[in-house]
C-alpha cells in the first residue's frame, strides 16, 4: 500500500473541511466542518505512525480525539447561548468583531 | 481499476491488493459523504453524512493497523460527538428538512482557497512520498499505547484531563439557563 | 572499542557529601526567604536572623564543597598518576614540553532532580559542581554573609527592614541557583530571580520617584539583554540537541553538552556565531557593558549594601559568569583560538575607557565606584574575549572583595560621616581623622583596585593585561594599561575629596535635614554649561546648592524612612567612626583585598620580583580552570560522579593533535605547537572536549614594571592635580571649564554620560513608545507633502503655462493621491475586518496556503 493514499485522502478531507468552514452559514455546520479537518489530521497522524512503525502517532491521534470532544462540547454550548440570546445561529449576523 | 492495482501488485510484491481495493472503496464513500456534509441543504442530513465520514475514518484506522484508535473513534465520535451535534441541531430549532440560506453570501470564496490548499498539499505529498510503500504490518499491541501514554506522554495526558474537566464545567456554565 | 580499551585508563576521583549536596547552598536561602516573608515581622530581629543563618549555612556548605573539590582534583593528579605507572612518564614528557599542561579533566559532580520530562526531553534542577561554580558559590555566600552583617546596622530602623532582608536573601539564592546550574533552563531561572531582586532592591525606597525610576531603568535595560539570553539559548538548543542526544545522552539545554558540542566541530560556525552574539548581548545587559552600562550608575539609588552586593561584586558578574560558563561557544563562535578580534574584547576595551572617563566627573562617591565597577567588568570581558579565561575569572574573585569593601566603606562614610549624603564635594572632606578604620580599609581597597603590587588587583588585572598582550592584541594591551592609569587617577580624586582637605557640609557638622544626596544632583537629565563648575563648599562659605536641595522636600534619597529618631544621636555630633557591625565586614574585606591575590600569584612574576612563592601556589589555575583534555565519550555519557575514565594524552598517536611518536617514552608533543589540542583542532573520534586549551602568558619583569609604572604615573598626576586644584586652588586650573571651550565641551560630554541616556530616552524609547501609526502619519505629512511641494516648486520655475497645467493635473492629483493614501493606510485594511468568522477563516487558510507555497518554492529552487 502506498503512503500517498492515506495522505492524499487526508488532504482531500482537510480541504473539504476548509471549504465548509468558509462557506457555511450555520454555526453547527461550521463545527461539523471543523470535525472533518480534525479527522483529516488524525488520519495523517495514524498514517505516519504506520509508516515509521512507531506508536507515538497513534497516541497523538488519541489526544486529538480527546481535545476534539472537548471542543465540540464547548462549541455547541456557545452556539446554544448565542441562539438563546439572538434567536439565530447564522454566523454572518454575528459581526460584533467588525473593526 | 482492479487491473491497475493488480499491475501495481506485480510490480511491487509488498502491495496487498485486497487492502488497496478496500481503501479505494472506503475512500470514495468518505469523499462523497464529506462533500455532501458541506453541500447538502439539510442540516440533519449533513450530520448523518458526517457519521459516514467518521465511520470511514475508523475503517481507515483499522487498515492502518490502529485498531485501538479506531475503536476510540467509533465510541467518541459516532457515539458521543454525533449525539451532541444532533442535540445541538435540535435545540437550535433548525428545520428538519430543506433549508435555504445555509451558505454565506460569499461562499464561493471557499472554492479557490480549498483548491489552492489541496493543490499545494497534493504537490508536496506526491513530491515527498511518491515511492514510499508501507509494507504489511501486524497491528500494534494496544499495550504499546498504554506504555506511551503513561510514561513519556504522561504530562500531556494529565493536561488533557484538566482540559476535559474545564471543558465540561465550561459547557455546563455556558449552556445553563439563568 | 577493543583497541580503544587499552588507551583509556580508569581514574578514581574522590567525591564527598558537601559536593553531592551542594544544591542545599541555594535551597537554604530560598527557604529562608519564604520564612522571612511569612514570619519575619514577628521575630525578635525582624527576619534578619533567618537571612544571616541561611547564608551562614550556605557558606559552611560551600566551604566544605570547595575543600572536597580540591581533594577531588588532587586525587586525580596524584592518585591517578601513581595508579597509572607509565602514564606519569608520559605526563612528565608533556610537562617538560608544554609546562605542566597535561593534567586530566576533572569530571564535575552533578546532582539533579528531574522536574519535567516529556518525550525524552528532561529538565533538571540541581547542582553542577566544578571549579568555576565552586569558586562563585563560595564567593557569593561569603560576600552575602558579610553584607548581611553590615546591613544589620546600616538599615536598622528602616520601614521595610524585613522585606529588605527577604529580597537580599532571595537574591543570594537566585545567584547561587544560577552559578550551580547544570542546564540553561536553571541558569535562566537564577538569572531572572536576580533581575527581579535587583529591581526590588534598587527601588527599596520607592516613595522617591527617582528611586523607582532607577529601578525601572535597570530592569528594562537588563530585560533588553535578557531577550538575547532566551534567543541564544534557543539557538544553542536547536543546534546542539541532536548531537547531545546522540553522543552524550543528554539534551541541548545541558551546559556540558553545549560545551562539548561547541568544541566538537560538528556545529556550524554560523550557528555558533549567532548564539554567541545573542548570549553576549545578555551579558552586556547584565554586566553593564557599553552601550547598556547606563543602568548601573542609576542602580546606586538603592541602599548601599545592595550596591555593594548586587551592583558591584556579585550580580553584575553574572554576565561574565555566563561567558565563562559556556566559554567554548564564544571561543568557537568568535574564533578566539585564532586570535580573531572578538566582539567581546572590543566591547570590553570600549567599556574600560569610557567608564573610567565618566568616573572623573562624578561628585557622588557611589557613582564613582559604579563607573569603576563598569570599567573593571570591562577588564573581565576583555580577558574573556582574548582567551584569558583564568585571569578574568580570577579578577571576578579579587574584584568582589575590594569593590565590595569600597562600597561598604562608602556606606560607612554616609552612615556616620556625612549624614546620609554621598556627595563628595558638598558633604565630605577631611574624614580620615574621624574615621581612621574606614579610611584604612578604603586605602587598601583602592590600592588593590588600582593594581599596586602586593594587593589583590595587581595579580588579577595585570594578568589580564599581560595575557591580552601575549595573545597578540597590542592595541587592547595599551587600552588596558591606559585604563589602569585612569583607574589610579579617578580613585585618587575620590580619595582626596572624601578623606583629605577641609571638612565640608555634613562632614563639618553642618546638619541640614533636607540634604540627602540623591535628592539634588542626579535628577538633572542634562547638565548645561551654566551649572558645571561646582566648587568645593567649605565651612563658612554658604553652600551653593543648599537652597535647591531644600526645595526638594523632606525625605529623600538614602534615608532611612520615618525612623529618623534612631540617628538623632549622631546627627548633631558630626562625623565619627561607625559601629562594630559595620566595621567588621569592612575590615575582613580589606584584609582579603590585601591577600586574596595570593590565591593565584604567577610564580614567574614572583620569581621576577625576587619573591620565592614556591610551586603550586596558583590555586585558581590548579583548581578552577577546567583542564583542556579530551575525555572518552562513552564513559562521560553516563553517570556523572564517581569514576571517570580518561584519555591519556600521548597514548593515542595522532599527529593532528600535536603528538608525534617517540620510541623511548611513548609520545611527546610537538613543542610550541599552539594549533593543537582542545578548541584548536577537532577532538578525536570517541572523545569530547569540555574546555578549550587557553594559553597562559609568561610574565616578564619588564611588563610588570611597565604596568606598575603606568599606575605610578597615574597616581602622581592625580595627586598633583588634586593638590593643585582642590587644595591650593591654582588659578590656572580653577574655572578652566569656563574659560576653555575644549575643556568645557569634554566636561559636558562626560557629565552627560556621552548623551547615551538622552539617546535612549529621546530616540529609542520615543519611537518605540509611540504607535507606529503616528510615524506613518508623520511620514505622510512631512515627506509626501514635501515631495509634493518640491514638484510644485519645479513646475513654478518651468513657466506659468506649464505651471498651471501641472498644478491642475499633476500636483493636485498628487495631493489628492497623497491624501487618499493617508486615508487608505488607515481605512484600507478596514474592509477585511468584517467581523465575520467565515471571512477570517478564509483569510487564515488563504494566508497559510500562500505562506506554504512560498516555503515550497524556496525549498524547491
DSSP A24-72: B-BHHHHHHHHHHHHHHHHHHHHHHHHHHT-THHHHHHHHHHHHHHHHH
**Of C275, C358, C272, which Cα lies nearest the Cα of C750?**
C358
Tell me if C841 and A98 make a contact (CB, 8 A cut-off).
no
Q: How many helices (DSSP H) and strands (DSSP E) are in chain A?
A: 3, 0
Q: CA–CA distance from C129 to each of C99, C137, C177, C180 (Å)? A: 27, 9, 12, 6
Boundaries of every domain in chain C: 770-828, 835-861
3-state secondary structure of C825: helix
Q: Which of C119, C836, C845 is closest, CB to CB, to A92?
A: C836
Residues of C in contact with A30 (CB under 8 A): 837-838
Residues of B in contact with A30 (CB under 8 A): none
Boundaries of every domain in chain B: 2-97+107-136, 141-178
Residues of C in contact with A21 (CB under 8 A): 838, 841, 845
Nearest CA-CA distance, residue A44 and chain C, Å = 18
Nearest CA-CA distance, residue B153 and chain C, Å = 6
Tell me if C842 and B120 make a contact (CB, 8 A cut-off).
no
> Is B144 part of the contact surface with chain A (CB cutoff 8 Å)?
yes
Report residue C427 as a C-alpha cell: 558633604
Tell me if A29 and B170 make a contact (CB, 8 A cut-off).
no
Report residue A10 as a C-alpha cell: 487526508
Helices marked H in C507-618 — which ranges?
Answer: 546-551, 568-571, 580-595, 603-608
Residues of B in contact with C852 (CB under 8 A): 120, 124
Report residue C203 as a C-alpha cell: 527601588
Determine what percent of chain A is predicted with pLDDT higher than 90. 49
Return the exposure string of C528-555: e unless at least 16 CB atoms fall within 10 Å of the residue's CB, then b. eeeeeeeebbeeeeebebbeebeebeeb
Q: What is the pLDDT of residue C623?
A: 82
Nearest CA-CA distance, residue B148 and chain C, Å = 9
- ∠ CA C676-C679-C684, nearest 5°, is 70
The C-alpha cell 552559578 sits at C179
Q: What is the pLDDT of residues C539-577, one digit of tens each?
A: 444 343 433 333 343 334 444 443 333 444 444 456 777
Q: Is C729 left (phi over 0), alpha (psi -120 to 50) or beta?
A: left
Residues of C in contact with B113 (CB under 8 A): 842, 845-846, 849
What's the first-to-final CA gap in chain B, in angstroms? Answer: 60
CB A55 within 8 A of CB A46: no
Nearest CA-CA distance, residue C448 and chain B, Å = 54
Q: CA–CA distance from C811 to each of C14, C792, C820, C823 (Å)? A: 87, 6, 14, 18
**Of C630, C635, C624, C640, which Cα lies nearest the Cα of C124?**
C640
**Sequence-ordered list of residues with C-beta below 8 angstroms from that of C627, at least 6 positions apart, any chain:** C103, C104, C105, C106, C691
Q: Which of A22, A25, A99 is closest, CB to CB, to C841?
A: A22
Q: CA–CA distance from C623 to each of C19, C295, C549, C604 (Å)? A: 14, 35, 53, 19
Higher model confidence: residue A91 or residue C831?
A: A91
Averaged pLDDT, A82-90: 82
CB A25 within 8 A of CB B104: yes
Helices marked H in C326-387 — which ranges?
Answer: 327-333, 343-358, 365-385
Residue among A1, A25, A73, A79 with most chain B CBs within 10 A, to mutate: A1
CA–CA separation, C589 and C406 (whole Å): 9
Q: What is the pLDDT of residue A35?
A: 93
- ipTM (interface pTM): 0.90
Higher model confidence: residue C74 or residue A45?
A: A45
> Is B88 part of the contact surface with chain A (CB cutoff 8 Å)?
yes
What's the first-to-final CA gap in chain C, in angstroms? Answer: 44
Backbone angles phi and psi of C121, in degrees to 5: -95, 120
Q: CA–CA distance from C280 to each of B96, C276, C770 (Å)? A: 67, 6, 29
Q: What is the pLDDT of residue C358?
A: 84
The strands making up C8-12's β-sheet, listed across from edge to edge, are C8-12, C643-647, C631-632, C687-688
Q: CA–CA distance from C723 to each of B56, C588, C717 (Å)? A: 96, 31, 10
Tell me if A95 and C835 make a contact (CB, 8 A cut-off).
yes
Q: What is the pLDDT of residues B4-21, one digit of tens each?
A: 555 555 555 555 778 888
Q: What is the pLDDT of residue A99?
A: 59
Residues of A in contact with C836 (CB under 8 A): 91-92, 94-95, 98
CA–CA separation, A97 and A87 (whole Å): 19
Tell me if C849 and B104 make a contact (CB, 8 A cut-off).
no
Q: What is the pLDDT of residue C426?
A: 74
The C-alpha cell 555630633 sits at C573
Chains near C, with 3+ CB pairs < 8 A? Answer: A, B
CATH architecture of A25-89: Orthogonal Bundle (1.10)
3-state secondary structure of C612: coil
**Sequence-ordered list of residues with C-beta below 8 angstroms from that of C555, at least 6 positions apart, any chain:** C207, C208, C516, C561, C562
Q: What is the pLDDT of residue B56?
A: 94
Backbone angles phi and psi of C182, in degrees to 5: -105, -5
Q: How many helices (DSSP H) and strands (DSSP E) are in chain B?
A: 8, 0
Of the pLDDT bands very low, low, confident and very high (cuts 50, 70, 90), residue A74 is very high
> Is C117 part of the contact surface with chain B (CB cutoff 8 Å)?
yes
Tell me if A99 and C833 make a contact (CB, 8 A cut-off).
yes
Q: What is the pLDDT of residue C733?
A: 63
Nearest CA-CA distance, residue A33 and chain C, Å = 12
Q: What is the pLDDT of residue C4?
A: 38
Give me the residues of chain C with pLDDT under 70, please.
Answer: 1-12, 77-103, 119-120, 339-341, 506-574, 602-617, 632-677, 684-686, 729-742, 753, 760-778, 780-781, 784, 791-792, 794-809, 811, 822, 826, 828-835, 861
CA–CA separation, C478 and B12 (whole Å): 75
* 1.20.120.1200, 1.10.10.10, 1.10.1270.20, 1.10.3720.10: CATH of B2-97+107-136: 1.20.120.1200
Boundaries of every domain in chain A: 25-89
Report residue A48 as a C-alpha cell: 505516519
Q: What is the pLDDT of residue B27?
A: 93
DSSP codes of every residue in C471-492:
TT-HHHHHHHHHHHHHHHHHHH
Which residues are C632's β-sheet partners? C687
Report residue C71 as a C-alpha cell: 581533594
Q: Report CA A73 to chain centroid distance, whole Å.
A: 13
Higher model confidence: residue B98 or residue C648?
A: B98
Q: CA–CA distance from C312 to each of B134, C493, C494, C722 (Å)? A: 65, 20, 17, 26
Q: What is the pLDDT of residue C569?
A: 43
Q: What is the pLDDT of residue B157?
A: 92
Residue among A3, A27, A54, A55 with most chain B CBs within 10 A, to mutate: A55
Q: Which of B66, B104, B157 is closest, CB to CB, to A49?
A: B66
**Of C299, C286, C295, C55, which Cα lies nearest the Cα of C190?**
C286
**Of C637, C804, C716, which Cα lies nearest the Cα of C107?**
C637
Backbone angles phi and psi of C488, in degrees to 5: -60, -40
3-state secondary structure of C195: helix
Give, as one character, the DSSP assignment of residue C78: I
Give the pairing type, strands C659-661 and C667-669. Answer: antiparallel
CA–CA separation, C733 and C739 (whole Å): 10
Which residues are C423's β-sheet partners? C364
Whether omega before C291 lies within 30 degrees of 0, making that bond cis, reads yes
What's the first-to-final CA gap in chain A, in angstroms? Answer: 50
CB C169 within 8 A of CB C29: yes
Q: What is the pLDDT of residue C614?
A: 52
Amino acid at each position: 500500500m502506498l503512503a500517498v493514499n492515506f495522505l492524499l485522502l487526508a488532504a482531500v478531507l482537510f480541504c473539504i473541511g476548509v471549504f465548509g468552514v468558509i462557506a457555511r452559514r450555520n454555526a453547527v455546520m461550521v463545527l461539523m466542518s471543523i470535525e472533518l479537518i480534525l479527522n483529516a489530521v488524525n488520519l495523517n497522524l495514524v498514517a505516519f505512525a504506520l509508516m515509521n512503525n512507531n506508536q507515538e502517532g497513534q497516541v497523538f491521534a488519541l489526544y486529538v480525539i480527546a481535545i476534539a470532544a472537548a471542543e465540540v462540547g464547548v462549541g455547541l454550548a456557545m452556539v446554544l447561548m448565542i441562539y438563546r440570546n439572538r434567536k439565530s445561529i447564522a454566523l454572518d449576523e454575528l459581526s460584533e468583531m467588525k473593526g | 481499476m482492479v487491473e491497475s492495482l493488480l499491475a501495481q501488485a506485480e510490480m511491487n510484491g509488498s502491495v496487498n491488493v485486497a487492502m488497496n481495493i478496500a481503501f479505494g472503496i472506503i475512500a470514495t464513500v468518505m469523499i462523497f459523504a464529506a462533500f455532501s456534509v458541506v453541500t447538502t441543504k439539510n442540516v440533519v442530513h449533513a450530520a448523518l453524512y458526517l457519521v459516514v465520514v467518521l465511520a470511514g475514518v475508523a475503517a481507515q484506522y483499522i487498515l492502518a493497523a490502529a485498531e485501538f484508535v479506531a475503536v476510540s473513534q467509533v465510541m467518541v465520535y459516532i457515539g458521543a460527538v454525533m449525539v451532541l451535534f444532533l442535540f445541538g441541531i435540535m435545540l437550535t430549532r433548525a428545520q428538519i428538512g430543506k433549508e435555504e440560506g445555509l451558505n454565506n453570501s460569499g461562499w464561493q470564496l471557499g472554492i479557490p482557497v480549498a483548491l489552492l490548499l489541496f493543490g499545494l498539499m497534493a504537490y508536496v505529498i506526491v513530491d515527498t512520498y511518491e515511492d514510499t510503500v508501507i509494507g504489511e504490518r501486524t497491528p500494534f499491541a494496544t499495550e504499546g499505547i498504554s506504555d506511551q501514554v503513561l510514561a513519556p506522554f504522561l504530562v500531556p495526558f494529565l493536561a488533557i484531563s484538566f482540559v476535559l474537566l474545564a471543558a465540561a464545567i465550561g459547557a455546563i456554565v455556558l449552556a445553563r439557563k439563568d | 572499542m577493543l583497541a580503544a580499551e587499552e588507551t583509556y585508563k580508569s581514574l578514581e576521583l574522590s567525591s564527598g557529601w558537601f559536593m553531592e549536596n551542594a544544591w542545599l547552598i541555594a535551597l537554604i536561602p530560598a527557604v529562608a526567604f519564604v520564612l522571612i516573608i511569612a514570619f519575619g515581622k514577628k521575630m525578635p530581629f525582624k527576619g534578619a536572623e533567618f537571612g544571616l543563618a541561611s547564608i551562614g549555612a550556605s557558606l559552611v556548605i560551600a566551604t566544605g564543597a570547595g575543600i572536597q573539590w580540591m581533594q577531588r582534583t588532587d586525587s586525580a593528579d596524584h592518585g591517578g598518576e601513581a595508579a597509572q605507572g607509565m602514564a606519569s612518564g608520559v605526563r612528565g614528557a608533556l610537562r617538560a614540553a608544554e609546562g605542566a599542561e597535561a593534567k586530566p579533566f576533572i569530571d564535575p559532580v552533578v546532582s539533579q532532580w528531574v522536574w519535567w520530562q516529556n518525550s525524552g526531553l528532561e529538565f533538571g534542577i540541581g547542582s553542577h559542581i566544578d571549579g568555576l561554580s565552586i569558586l562563585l558559590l563560595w564567593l557569593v555566600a561569603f560576600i552575602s554573609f558579610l553584607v548581611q552583617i553590615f546591613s544589620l546596622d546600616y538599615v536598622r530602623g528602616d520601614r521595610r527592614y524585613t522585606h529588605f532582608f527577604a529580597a537580599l536573601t532571595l537574591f543570594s539564592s537566585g545567584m547561587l541557583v544560577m552559578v550551580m546550574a547544570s542546564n540553561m533552563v536553571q541558569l535562566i531561572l537564577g538569572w531572572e530571580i536576580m533581575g527581579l531582586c535587583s529591581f526590588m532592591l534598587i527601588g527599596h525606597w520607592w516613595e522617591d520617584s527617582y528611586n523607582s525610576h532607577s529601578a525601572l531603568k535597570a530592569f528594562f535595560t537588563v530585560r533588553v539583554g535578557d531577550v538575547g539570553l532566551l534567543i541564544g539559548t534557543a539557538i544553542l538548543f536547536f543546534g546542539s540537541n541532536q548531537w547531545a542526544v546522540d553522543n552524550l545522552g543528554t539534551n541541548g539545554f545541558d551546559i556540558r553538552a553545549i560545551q562539548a558540542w561547541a568544541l566538537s566541530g560538528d556545529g556550524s560556525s554560523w550557528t555558533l556565531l549567532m548564539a554567541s552574539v545573542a548570549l553576549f548581548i545578555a551579558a552586556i545587559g547584565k554586566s553593564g557593558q557599553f552601550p547598556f552600562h547606563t543602568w548601573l550608575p542609576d542602580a546606586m539609588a538603592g541602599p548601599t549594601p545592595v550596591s555593594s552586593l548586587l551592583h558591584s561584586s556579585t550580580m553584575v558578574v553574572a554576565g561574565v559568569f555566563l561567558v565563562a560558563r559556556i566559554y567554548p561557544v564564544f571561543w568557537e563562535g568568535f574564533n578566539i583560538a585564532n586570535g580573531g578580534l572578538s566582539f567581546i574584547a572590543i566591547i570590553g576595551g570600549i567599556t574600560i575607557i569610557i567608564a573610567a572617563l565618566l568616573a572623573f566627573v562624578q561628585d557622588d562617591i557611589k557613582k564613582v565606584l559604579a563607573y569603576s565597577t563598569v570599567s573593571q567588568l570591562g577588564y573581565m570581558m576583555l580577558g574573556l574575549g582574548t582567551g584569558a579565561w583564568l585571569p578574568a575569572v580570577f579578577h571576578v574573585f579579587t574584584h568582589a572583595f575590594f569593590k565590595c569593601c569600597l562600597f561598604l566603606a562608602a556606606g560607612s562614610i554616609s552612615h556616620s560621616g556625612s549624614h546620609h549624603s554621598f556627595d563628595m564635594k558638598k558633604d565630605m572632606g577631611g574624614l580620615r581623622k574621624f574615621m581612621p578604620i574606614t579610611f584604612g580599609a578604603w586605602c587598601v581597597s583602592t590600592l588593590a583596585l588600582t593594581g599596586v603590587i602586593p594587593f589583590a588587583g595587581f595579580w588579577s588585572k595585570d594578568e589580564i593585561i599581560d595575557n591580552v598582550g601575549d595573545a597578540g592584541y597590542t592595541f587592547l594591551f595599551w587600552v588596558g594599561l591606559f585604563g589602569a592609569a585612569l583607574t589610579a587617577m579617578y580613585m585618587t580624586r575620590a580619595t582626596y575629596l572624601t578623606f583629605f582637605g577641609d571638612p565640608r557640609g555634613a562632614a563639618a557638622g553642618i546638619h541640614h535635614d533636607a540634604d540627602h544626596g540623591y535628592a539634588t544632583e542626579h535628577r538633572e537629565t542634562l547638565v548645561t554649561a551654566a551649572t558645571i563648575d561646582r566648587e568645593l563648599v567649605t565651612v563658612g562659605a554658604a553652600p551653593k546648592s543648599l537652597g535647591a536641595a531644600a526645595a526638594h522636600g523632606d525625605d529623600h534619597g538614602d534615608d532611612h524612612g520615618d525612623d529618623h529618631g534612631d540617628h538623632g544621636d549622631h546627627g548633631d555630633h558630626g562625623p565619627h567612626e561607625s559601629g562594630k557591625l559595620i566595621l567588621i565586614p569592612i575590615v575582613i574585606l580589606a584584609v582579603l583585598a590585601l591577600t586574596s591575590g595570593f590565591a593565584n600569584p604567577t610564580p614567574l612574576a614572583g620569581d621576577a620580583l625576587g619573591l620565592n612563592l614556591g610551586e603550586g601556589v596558583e590555586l585558581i589555575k590548579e583548581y578552577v580552570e577546567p583542564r583542556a583534555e579530551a575525555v572518552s565519550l562513552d564513559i562521560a555519557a553516563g553517570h556523572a560522579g564517581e569514576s571517570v575514565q580518561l584519555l591519556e594524552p600521548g597514548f593515542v598517536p595522532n599527529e593532528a593533535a600535536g603528538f608525534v611518536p617517540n620510541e623511548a617514552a611513548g609520545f611527546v608533543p610537538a613543542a610550541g605547537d599552539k594549533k593543537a589540542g582542545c578548541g584548536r583542532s577537532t577532538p578525536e573520534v570517541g572523545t569530547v572536549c569540555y574546555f578549550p586549551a587557553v594559553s597562559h602568558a609568561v610574565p616578564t619583569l619588564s611588563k610588570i614594571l611597565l604596568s606598575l609604572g603606568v599606575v605610578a604615573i597615574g597616581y602622581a598626576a592625580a595627586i598633583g592635580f588634586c593638590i593643585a586644584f582642590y587644595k591650593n586652588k591654582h588659578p590656572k586650573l580653577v574655572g578652566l571649564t569656563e574659560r576653555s571651550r575644549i575643556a568645557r565641551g569634554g566636561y559636558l560630554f562626560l557629565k552627560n554620560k556621552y548623551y547615551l541616556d538622552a539617546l535612549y530616552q529621546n530616540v529609542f524609547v520615543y519611537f518605540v513608545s509611540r504607535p507606529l501609526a503616528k510615524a506613518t502619519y508623520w511620514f505622510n505629512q512631512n515627506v509626501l507633502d514635501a515631495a509634493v511641494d518640491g514638484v510644485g516648486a519645479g513646475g513654478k520655475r518651468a513657466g506659468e503655462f506649464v505651471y498651471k497645467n501641472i498644478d491642475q493635473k499633476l500636483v493636485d492629483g498628487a495631493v489628492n493621491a497623497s491624501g487618499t493614501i493617508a486615508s487608505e493606510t488607515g481605512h484600507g485594511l478596514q474592509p477585511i475586518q468584517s467581523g465575520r468568522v467565515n471571512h477570517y477563516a478564509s483569510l487564515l487558510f488563504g494566508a497559510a496556503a500562500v505562506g506554504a507555497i512560498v516555503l515550497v518554492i524556496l525549498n524547491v529552487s
